[in-house]
Amino acid sequence: MNTIIYKRLKFFKVILRTRYAFSYYKKPLKSILKWAVADTENHNFLYPLTSLNMQYLLHFLSNTFGVSNATVQVYLDEILSDEILTKNLLKRMRLNRSPKDTFPYFGRRIGWYVIVRILKPKVIFESGVFEGLGAIALISALKQNTIEGFPGNYIGTDIALGSGGLLSNQDLEFGKIIINDTSVVINELNEEIDLFISDGDHSSEFEWNELNAVINKLSKKSCVLSDNSHTSGVLAEWSVRNGRKFYFFKEEPEGHWYPGAGIGISLEED
């Protein structure tokens, strides 16, 4: 074959292969442009989940916690259809000077809500409150549990002053924010923790330290969540070392370039 023809064919083959590969990134690339010109968050991204991802989340929670799909769907509908919660949260975001194009999507945190509704924990401990979006999902579930006769309390820690700015006074009736190092607060705690959420410093060293600090404070039927399991295997390895089961759900954002995080879950062996 003529060398020039061969090189041209090879060039067109590369172009075709490149176009094919880029077809998988067409939506994310468009989302980048849309996000770049909008007045939205620069980190801690907010987005809904795709409809397929929501379906997978339902089955994941049903199978992990041994409850029916119908029960999980009821709990999902509670938080997704709570217009008062969304309206009040949007108002507090504006008061906190959030970018005008942001919207209080809970993303994977709707899974946190469902977990609280399933487990009915008496004590929830979240490491890394930040603005408090996750805390609001957790406390909203505690409110519903209380109505049904299963009261519980929320404890959130962060080292940044002003953390939890999205929480209302009514939210804080169900818990408190402590500005201090997580390990220090855990060591001073006199209560057993039923649900622990690791959402602070996302370094592996920090995650190991707080998981090792909390191990002796966990109740017998405790559940541990990690907001870092999409990039770290710490909770999975910690679970193996402590005779626990590990599960993972990967979220898929709708209309956002961010590839998504996930929910790492550690449960006691049966």
Q: Which two tokens stand for residue 103?
A: 């919207």
Higher pLDDT, 19 or 116: 116
| Residue 61 pLDDT | 98
| Residue 270 pLDDT | 77
| Residue 220 pLDDT | 93
pLDDT digits 0-9 by tens, 169-226: 999 999 999 999 999 999 999 999 999 999 988 889 999 999 999 999 999 999 999 9
CA–CA gap between residue 200 and residue 165 (Å, rounded): 16
Which of 118, 192, 186, 121 is CA-nearest to residue 157? 186
Report whether 214 contacts 125 (CB < 8 A): yes
| Residue 6 pLDDT | 64
Which residue pairs, CB below 8 angstroms and at least 24 apart, start in 143-149?
Answer: 143/174, 144/78, 144/117, 145/116, 145/117, 145/120, 146/174
Which of 173, 57, 59, 161 is CA-nearest to residue 109? 57
Q: DSSP for 241-261?
A: HTTEEEEEEE--BSS-SS---
Which of 232, 11, 45, 229 is CA-nearest to residue 130? 45
Task: Give whole-number Cα distances, 81 to 76, 77, 87, 105, 141, in Å.
Answer: 8, 6, 11, 12, 13
- Model-wide pTM > 0.85: yes
CA–CA gap between residue 33 and residue 29 (Å, rounded): 7
Average pLDDT, the chain: 94
Residue 99 confidence (pLDDT) above 60 = yes
| Residue 53 pLDDT | 98
